Structure 1
Amino acid sequence: MAIFLTLGSTVLAIISGFVIFLLLLLLISLNGRTKKTQAPHQAPVAGGAWPLIGHLHLFGGQEPTHRLLGDMADKYGPIFTMKMGLNRALVVSNWEIAKECFTINDKPFANRPRSMAMDLLGYNFLAIAASPYGNYWRESRKMATIELLSNNQLQKLKHVRESEVKASIKGLFENCKRSSSHKVSVEMKHWIEGIVLDIIMRIIAGKRYTSQDSSDFQEHATDFFDLFGKFVVSDAFPFLRWLDIGGYEKLMKKTAKEFDLVLQGWLDEHKSKRGSSEVKGDEDFMYVMLSLFDDKTKQLPDGDDTDTVIKAICLSLILAASDTTAVTLTWAIALLLNNRDVLEKAQNELDVHVGTNRQVNESDMINLAHLQVVLKETLRLYPAAPLLLPHESIEDCTISGYHVPAGTQLIV
């Protein structure tokens, strides 16, 4: 009897233990399912990634990056993720999703990824487009917006824009008069670049590009944009920067030094002339910046002086304004010449609203509806920047219903 009782107790213990084991398995399974259910919903991942390098191998051909990403968007949808070496990137090619990124989630995506170009060419991340989110990020944008890009300031600078355009057209007219055939060949891209740089440099530093002894400024600018758009291995694998693969670090330092010499020369000249009668009432942006930094309450990033900050902001404005404007106007002229019916409509509109006895003024634009459409269509077909500079999320956020973790680069 005792044996049967002992055996029964043992069987009961085994059954009880088995039931407890099954219950534990069930709990673990339910917990796993719950976690899986609660896991963040991630955006689709593009196929074709390789170990370690991710999708970088896809960008080694001749196809422009924006077209390659456009083809991928046709396959994976308007929002998807990629691996760019050690970096995770979210690619957006839909205006509604892009709007969500820069309105609802403007703060999470206010930051920029730290690249070699933004470090070396952007004065150690002090250039407006390169600065990380924070006090300096806000102050630099505020200065540029209020002191240069506000409606009031743009109106004050109207005479600069109109006089430079008039001078350039007059120069073309004089060249035609001197020609025996009364015709001249004009490289439109170069001519437009000259006008735009004259306007921008005069507004920023009181200089004219076409009258500068340092006519290699445009060459420096071309080198700048070429290097700024280069893929650098160390941006994807920061631990490889010391190798300087491709020699880009050396080239960036050289270009940055050339620009710095020009900007420092302008700044020293402004300091020496500041307050004199020859500049009174005709102060450019550099003079305005020097006056702003007289206010000791202006916050500077730790370890950076006033000169460096002024040069960084001025460089940002000159380069950002000149290239984009020149590219857009060059495309507009090319498209008009290849669509003669649209060109004829634009000419007729000018004849009606402006006439043939005076130059077009900025105030005429409100009446030139067809010309405005031409410019907007040019921007749609051939945007000067088909890819925005990348942003980087500083905190977790949700885009189009997908979870985006902090540290994700945003490519639009």
Structure 2
Amino acid sequence: MYLKMGTCGAVVASSPSAARNFLKAFDAQFANRPPAISAKEVTYGYQNMVFANYGPKWKLLRKLSSLHLLGAKALADWAPVRRAEAAHMVRGMLDAARRVRPVTLPDVLVCAFANIISQITLSLRIFDAQGEESNQYKDMIVELLTGGDLFNIGDFVPGIAWMDLQGVQAKLRRIHKRYDGMVTKLLEAHAASAKQREGKPDFLDVIMANREGEDGETITDVNIKALVFDLFTAGTDTSSIIIEWAMAEMLKNPSILRRAQAEMDRVIGRDRKLEESDIPKLPYLQAICKEALRMHPSTPLSLPHFSFDPCEVEGYYIPGNTRLLVNIWAIGRNPDVWEDPLEFKPERFLSGKTAGIDPQGNYFELIPFGAGRRICAGKLVGMVFVQYMLGTLLQSFDWRLPEGEELNMNEKFGLALPKAVPLKAFVSPRLAAAAYL
């Protein structure tokens, strides 16, 4: 579908075949990002990896991130950090259970994910516990991902952008100022503790030591701030959203929750906690995660791609200077691919025609991380976050909604797609007491 949005052309790919054509056959042509004043405000002028145009700077940022943070080896190297933070999360939830207080799931998860990322990146736990500071951080990220920046009329009619008719740019400047203040403090603390990390460099140390690429491209201090922005925004709320939706769907369908817990009891038992090495032996848990990614992708529309040159796709002429949006939400609910697409059925990934589909960008029927050369650099980390943390929550606790409360399954639309009403539930421990030590 081709649209004229103000002075800008945009094409929307809403089927697996259309997505395959654009992101495979025309991958290189649509590898850029369109100019967007709203994005410029929060990315230090497109100095990050997510919104940078395809070129030497982007390649260097992507290479260093993949090698030292987001790739398979780095993932294995930082497993102890994830294990320790999962234990912190469980202890906090145990305390809530003893006090008979409900747990607000997205708050718990964002705090845990932010601490994982900050330890890997900066060797710091930025939140000691859930509290005012972590809640302010979460509110800032949610405001960024679900606010008015999704559609800013100035991005589509550049001639009136200076007027900021919707107040979007002013709002984003305020958010960016808060974020920049937080990151500046973190970087100052990181620099002050350099001697303590001798022989044990974190990701930021590696970036600092490899600032120059082979072709002379250099990573600046602004690039580093913008890259940290990517890691915190993409690595906290997006993973939290998927887990929250998965838990909500299981509370809505208790038989799925019971089956997942039974699988864990059979494979792991109740005398020890889940380890990441257990996940390959838990196919139903994996299926639940895939089904949550299918029904509730954290980004319903892909970040916009951009082509400077015209092309012809599936017999249609696409003019130059056109934006591409991939409707990930619609592709995951395509009735030609998915039987009962509006039903949460993890078993569809265990048998039948869709059993072999995975979300890593190879099957265009399910592309929650995108596909092609601009596929999410953190797809491996994202899958581990979702599978390990969701598995930990399921194995460690039984779950129930507050008395008399109905489950609200409405969505809050934006760049991300969280639940409109955050999930609150009471938890009770289900493992042997020694397993929580």
- Name the structure 1 match of 2:167: 247
Partner amino acid, structure 1, of 2:187 = L
- Name the structure 1 match of 2:308: 394
Which of 187, 193, 212 is the aligned partner of 2:110? 193
Which of 32, 40, 43 is the aligned partner of 1:111? 32
Q: TM-score, normalised by structure 1?
A: 0.74
Q: Report the Cα distance in structure 2 between the residues aligned to 1:154 and 1:272, rounded to whole angstroms.
A: 26
- Structure 1 residues 405 and 103, CA gap change in structure 2 (3 angstroms): same
Partner amino acid, structure 2, of 1:366 = P
Partner amino acid, structure 2, of 1:131 = A
**1:267 and 2:179 correspond:** no
1:365 touches 1:372 (CA, 8 Å); kept in 2?
A: yes
- Name the structure 2 match of 1:287: 205
Give the superposition deviation at 1:227: 4.0
Which of 45, 52, 57 is the aligned partner of 1:124? 45
| Residue-by-residue CA offset, 1:213-260 (whole Å, 9 max, x unaligned) | 844222222232234643212111101112121222222222112211
Give the superposition deviation at 1:117: 1.6
Matches within 5 A, 1:351-370: 351-370=265-284
2:311 touches 2:319 (CA, 8 Å); kept in 1?
A: yes
Q: Report the Cα distance in structure 1 between the residues aligned to 2:212 and 2:24, rounded to whole angstroms.
A: 34
Give the superposition deviation at 1:272: 3.0
Partner amino acid, structure 2, of 1:149 = L
- Name the structure 1 match of 2:55: 134
- Name the structure 2 match of 1:204: 121
Q: Report the Cα distance in structure 1 between the residues aligned to 2:142 and 2:189, rounded to whole angstroms.
A: 25
SS of the aligned residue for 1:106 comes to coil
RMSD between superposed Cα atoms in Å: 2.0
- Structure 1 residues 273 and 207, CA gap change in structure 2 (3 angstroms): closer
Q: Report the Cα distance in structure 2 between the residues aligned to 1:346 and 1:157, rounded to whole angstroms.
A: 26
- Structure 1 residues 396 and 296, CA gap change in structure 2 (3 angstroms): closer
- Name the structure 2 match of 1:406: 320
Residue identity (%): 28
- Name the structure 2 match of 1:166: 87
**Runs of 4+ displaced beyond 6 Å:** 294-297
* Bigger Cα Rg: 1
Higher helix share: 1
Q: Report the Cα distance in structure 1 between the residues aligned to 2:175 and 2:245, rounded to whole angstroms.
A: 28
Matches within 5 A, 1:2-401: 80-177=1-98, 179=99, 183-211=100-128, 214-215=133-134, 216-227=136-147, 229-274=149-194, 276=195, 278-293=196-211, 298-300=216-218, 306-401=220-315
SS of the aligned residue for 1:164 comes to helix
Q: Which moved more, 1:209-218 or 1:349-358?
A: 209-218
Q: Report the Cα distance in structure 1 between the residues aligned to 2:188 and 2:210, rounded to whole angstroms.
A: 16
- Structure 1 residues 297 and 107, CA gap change in structure 2 (3 angstroms): closer
Give the superposition deviation at 1:170: 1.8
Partner amino acid, structure 1, of 2:286 = Q
2:110 touches 2:237 (CA, 8 Å); kept in 1?
A: yes
Partner amino acid, structure 2, of 1:285 = F
Relative contact order, higher structure (CA 8 A, sep 6+) = 2
Q: Report the Cα distance in structure 2 between the residues aligned to 1:83 and 1:175, rounded to whole angstroms.
A: 52
SS of the aligned residue for 2:80 comes to helix
1:120 touches 1:256 (CA, 8 Å); kept in 2?
A: yes
**Number of residue-to-residue matches in the alignment:** 323
Q: Report the Cα distance in structure 2 between the residues aligned to 1:211 and 1:170, rounded to whole angstroms.
A: 12
Q: Report the Cα distance in structure 2 between the residues aligned to 1:189 and 1:90, rounded to whole angstroms.
A: 33
Q: Which structure 1 residue ranges, 5 or more long, are not aligned?
A: 1-79
Q: Report the Cα distance in structure 2 between the residues aligned to 1:349 and 1:214, rounded to whole angstroms.
A: 37
Q: Which structure 2 residue ranges, 5 or more long, are not aligned?
A: 327-437
Q: Report the Cα distance in structure 2 between the residues aligned to 1:247 and 1:175, rounded to whole angstroms.
A: 40
| Residue-by-residue CA offset, 1:170-211 (whole Å, 9 max, x unaligned) | 22223434x3xxx33111121122222221222222232432
Partner amino acid, structure 1, of 2:211 = F
Partner amino acid, structure 2, of 1:263 = V
- Name the structure 2 match of 1:25: none
Q: Which moved more, 1:166-175 or 1:222-231?
A: 222-231
